[in-house]
Every structure is written in C-alpha cells, then in structure tokens.
A and B are shown apart, each in its own frame.
Chain A
Amino acid sequence: MGNNRIKRQIIAFLLLGVGVFAFVILNICIGSVRLSLQEIGLALTGRGSEETMARIVWDIRFPRTAAVLILGGALALSGYLLQTFFNNPIAGPFVLGISSGAKMVVALVMVFFMGRAVRVTQTAMILAAFLGAVLSMGFVLLMSRRVNSMSMLVVSGVMIGYICSAITELVVTFANDAQIVNLHNWSRGSFSGMTWENVRMMAVVVGVAFWLVFCLAKPLDAYRLGESYARNLGVNLRLLRVELVILSGVLSACIVAFAGPISFVGIAAPHLVKKLFGTAKPLLMVPACFLGGSVFCLFCDLLARTLLAPTELSVSTVTAIFGAPVVLWIMAERKRERTG
C-alpha cells in the first residue's frame, strides 16, 4: 500500500469535508434575503435586531440545509448500494424506477387520506415510500433474472418508472385542487418547506441506515470480485442481498418521502467520488459517497434557489444538468475500456 495512496485519500476526505462546510455556509447565507455571517451569528444567539431574520435563519434555511445534507448523502449512498448490488455503474434509485415507485405509493396514500381529511404523518409517508420502493425494486429484480445485460436492466427500470409516473399523474388528475398544489411541488423533487421535525425524523432513519451500511463494508469488499469468490470467502450471499435491497430501499424511500424523486445524484456522486479517491474500497466509499452526495446536492439546491430567484427551480432539473453528463461519461469510458 503506497503512502501516496493514503495521502490522496486523506486529501480527498479533507476536500469533501471542506466542501460540505463551505456549501452549508453558502446555503444559509444566500437566498432571497442575503445575510452575512455576522448577521447569522446574531440571529442564532437571539441578539439580532429583527425577529424575521432569526426566523428565516432558524426556521427556514437551517432545516432546509440540514435536510439537503442528509438526503443528498442518502441519495448517493443508495445509488452506491444499487450499483454494487446490480454490478452496474449506472444503477441508481431514479433510473431503476425505485423513486417513481415510491412516489406512486406515497401519492396514492396522500390522496386517499387527504380525501378523508386525515393528516398524513411522516412515519406513514416513509412507510408508504418504502413499500413503493420495495415493490418497484421487486420488479427490477424479476427483470434482472431475465435480462443479463446492463443496459437492458436500466431500460426496464426506466419503463417501470414511466408506468409508476403515469399512475401518479392519473391519481393527481383525479385529486381535488388543494391537494394537487401540494403534490405537484413534491412530485417534481424539491427540498423546500423542510421543518425541524422533518429533519429530526430523517436524521434518525438515515443515521441508522448509514451505520448498518457501514457495517456491511467488509462483505461488500469481498463482493467486489463477484459472487463465486465472495461465497468462497464465507460471505452469506443471500443475507447480503436481502440487506442491500432493504437498506437501499429505506434510503430511497426516505428521500422520496421528504423531497420527492431527485434524479442522477445516486449515479453521479459515487462515480465522482471514486474518481477523486482513486479507489472503490467500500470502507472508504460509504462515508465518502455520503459526503459527496451532500456536497453535490447542497451545490445543486443552491443553484435551484438562486439561479432564477425569486422563482425556484425544481432541484431535479439542476441535478439532471450536472448529473446526466456524468452518466454519459461513465458509458463512454466503459466502451473505451472494452474496446481498447
């Protein structure tokens, strides 16, 4: 193990850490009202002159930034798990239709309960999203038994995504107006309107999932040489597969429940992080992908809020602009490796 390699990994971690920190500050400072660090300090300590400023910082920007940080990391992590699971670098919750499946079930549940004037709790949302995520993952798994080509798997995932989106649209069309407004923003993917209550909930769910994924780093490492060798090394493959499906499902579900489907982060962030580190060792990749996803989403959300201010873009638009080229890059690179 070269010293250079370790040095590179330390620097990469530092870069990601600094990136997260810098973007958190920027996300809190920049917005329809621009705030200086000093003003934020005053607002937080309660010595600020204006009540509104404290509220902007504490009730809007802080929870939103925290949510982007947590969900961005979760997105990248679930993408990383799916890529490992399907042995496919362009797998992710969005392209495999898992996000759309989760979205569909959440929309159904929301319309059903709102129609009866029952408030949908966060837990119910997450459970609904998880159900949807696991359902569409089940379909993708069924398809993966029949097709063994990487691109066909993604195509079937995209098709499942279309079917789920169509059903969601159908539901939304038949829902009444007030509900549509609510559903429409969310179904396009957005981090707006996060509360501290949301943040607490997602921190718990994602925190637990993250720890469990981290504990899988060792079997995932053995899995990198393929199933035969993993089996020979004593990895319980069936258990590992179930764990991967559940954990990536929980992570995808949590994102969809709170922010709706967000495209491409799950593919782009892990890929960029691997290039940055020059390794794909799971023990490093699990925390690194999380940080990478956070940086990526903080950056994209900042743009979504500020680019056409005061109009807010859907964050999926921005992530697609920066994420989709990465997917093309991956495909071109693989092609080159195979021929050259």
Chain B
Amino acid sequence: MDYYFHTEQVSVGYQGKSLVKDIGIGLKKGEILTVIGPNGAGKSTFLKSVARQLAPVSGTVYLEQRDLAVMSGSELSKRMAVVFTEKMQTELMTCEDVAATGRYPYTGRFGILSKADREKVEEAMALVHVDEIREQDFSRISDGQRQRVMLARAICQEPEILVMDEPVTFLDIRHKLEFLSVLLELREQKELTVIMSLHELELAKLVSDKMLCLRGEYVERYGTPEEVFETDFIGRLYGIDEKTFIRNGKLLAYARQVGRMPEERS
C-alpha cells in the first residue's frame, strides 16, 4: 500500500461523537475523489477532518504515509489547499487581495508579495477566468464568481492536494464544467490530487476516479464510479425511487406520490 493520501478507520464528528465511522479511503497522486450523499450525511464533516480543520474522533489521516496530525502548519499549508462553503465577511478586499492570500505560506516576515508572487496570482486568476474582476470588491460579486476566486486562491497556494466542499454549487452549468476541467488540467500539469463533495451526480461520474458515498453511520459505498452507479444504488443512497417521484416524465406534487397519504396534509 503506497497511497499518496489515505485514511485508516477514521471516524468523524463533533465533540467526540461520531457522525460517520470507519472511513478508509486511499488515493494515488493525481486521483480525484468525490464525496456524495444526502444532506446531513457528514460530507462537510469528513472534508474538514481530512483537511485538519477538525480532529477526527478516532483513526488517522495520512499524507504520504505521514500522520497529518503531527505535520507542521507551514508544511501542510504548502501541500494542501481548501475551498469551503462558509460565507465570509471580507472588509474592503478586492478579488485579487483574496486570491493573493493563497501566497501566504511563501511570503516573508511581513507577507509582502514579490514580483514572482504577483505573477502566480495573476496566472491563477486567469486560469479560472476571474482576471477581469480582479479589482472588484469581493463582497459585491456573485456567488459563482466568489467560488471561482476561492479556487484561484487555492491554486495560488500551489498545493499537491485540494480539498473542496461543494465547490460548484453556485455555478451555472457551463462554469461547472469549466471549473472541473480546470481541475483536470491541474491534474495533468501538476499531478494535483483532489478530494471534493459534489451534489451533481452526473458531474461526479464524469470526473471521479473514486467515489465515497456517505449515508448514515457507516460508509455506504466506496469505489469507482462504475461500482457506485450500478443499478438502483443512487436511488437507495438518497432514499428515492424514481417511480415514487416521477410519472409520465413529470415530477409529482407531494401528496400524489405513491405511498404518501393525502390525509397527512394539514
């Protein structure tokens, strides 16, 4: 077993209570793992735990066979970047300022950007097509633009591995595809490894090497897209049965769905 990134019997959760138990994943360098599952399944909790934002309740996360928990902050910051969903309140920061914070691990005592740093920022912003909003206030751009600026920020950090929580949620379909193709590009150029959660199953199928399906206390399934997308599994994962929701190609109103009692409506 010489995985680039792997976890051993990791249980994740808050305040010592596990939400999901015994997660074991293994990724080679340059592989893309997507985490799927219904809302509240613990996807974000898992991502926070592998990004060392949250200590796992038990188990160990390894980066190149080394325990992530004992790695120094500055070393980890040069190897792993994150994109999270939480809303940020930035004060008077342009998109360029936000992207440039990714250079933090590489700057000196006072964090002053060198010419080379600026070029890296510019490159990253061009790569995700946010160079034209460089001077705009970060708090006044759309959610979709914000997600792309945050990806530019992560790219500036020159990571080997990228951990992202629903990075394409607010993007339109074209930008979703573009976002993911940038990831594939980075994988080809720099062997970037990616761990991310996605709600878009079709997209997950398109880009993933491995998929982790979470639901309930244990890992529901972990494997290649082919294994995950076998008949009916997705329906079971999300607790939906196509016949329940859809008839003659149309979504049914709640009470008309099979198995729902009209009387229950109040």
Taking beta carbons and an 8 Å cutoff, which residues of A are in contact with B?
Answer: 1-2, 87, 89, 215, 217-218, 221-222, 224-226, 228-229, 231-236, 274, 278-281, 283, 337
Knowing A218-B104, A218-B111, the reply to whether A225 touches B88 (Cβ < 8 A) is: yes
Stretch at the interface among B91-99, B184-192, B257-265: B91-99
Chain B, Cβ-Cβ closest to A233: B104
Knowing A233-B105, A234-B74, the reply to whether A224 touches B93 (Cβ < 8 A) is: yes
Knowing A221-B101, A234-B73, the reply to whether A229 touches B82 (Cβ < 8 A) is: yes
CA distance A233 to B157 in the complex (A): 8
Contact among A87, A217, A225, A234 for B76, CB-based, below 8 A: A234
- Find chain A residues with CB under 8 A from B72 CB: 234
CA distance A225 to B90 in the complex (A): 6
- Find chain A residues with CB under 8 A from B84 CB: 228-229
A283/B118 in contact, CB under 8 A: no
Q: How far is the CB of B124 from chain A (nearest CB, A)?
A: 15
CA distance A2 to B118 in the complex (A): 12
Q: Is B128 at the interface (CB under 8 A from chain A)?
A: no
- Find chain A residues with CB under 8 A from B168 CB: none
A278/B92 in contact, CB under 8 A: yes
CA distance A89 to B92 in the complex (A): 12
CA distance A263 to B111 in the complex (A): 33
Secondary structure of the A contact surface, majority rule: loop
Knowing A234-B77, A280-B93, the reply to whether A221 touches B111 (Cβ < 8 A) is: yes
- Find chain A residues with CB under 8 A from B75 CB: 234
Q: Mark B150-165, 1 if CB is under 8 A from A, else 0.
A: 0000000100000000
Contact among A1, A222, A283 for B101, CB-based, below 8 A: A222
A232/B53 in contact, CB under 8 A: yes
B82/A228 in contact, CB under 8 A: yes
- Find chain A residues with CB under 8 A from B74 CB: 234
- Find chain A residues with CB under 8 A from B110 CB: 217-218, 283
Chain B, Cβ-Cβ closest to A237: B73
CA distance A229 to B83 in the complex (A): 8
B97/A281 in contact, CB under 8 A: yes
Further pairs besides A218-B107, A234-B75, A234-B76: 19, Cβ < 8 Å: A218-B104, A222-B104, A224-B101, A225-B98, A226-B86, A228-B53, A228-B86, A229-B82, A229-B84, A229-B101, A231-B73, A232-B51, A233-B104, A234-B77, A234-B105, A279-B92, A279-B93, A279-B97, A283-B112
Q: B interface, how many residues as a size bin?
A: 35 or more
- Find chain B residues with CB under 8 A from A232 CB: 51, 53, 76-77, 80-82
Contact among A87, A215, A217, A337 for B139, CB-based, below 8 A: A337
A280/B104 in contact, CB under 8 A: no
- Find chain A residues with CB under 8 A from B247 CB: none
Q: List 20 A-B contacts (CB under 8 A).
A: A1-B96, A87-B89, A89-B91, A218-B111, A221-B101, A225-B90, A225-B98, A225-B101, A226-B86, A228-B48, A229-B101, A233-B77, A234-B73, A234-B77, A235-B73, A236-B73, A279-B92, A280-B91, A281-B97, A283-B111
- Find chain B residues with CB under 8 A from A280 CB: 91-93
B91/A274 in contact, CB under 8 A: yes
Chain A, Cβ-Cβ closest to B87: A226
Contact among B78, B81, B93, B118 for A1, CB-based, below 8 A: B118
CA distance A68 to B98 in the complex (A): 36
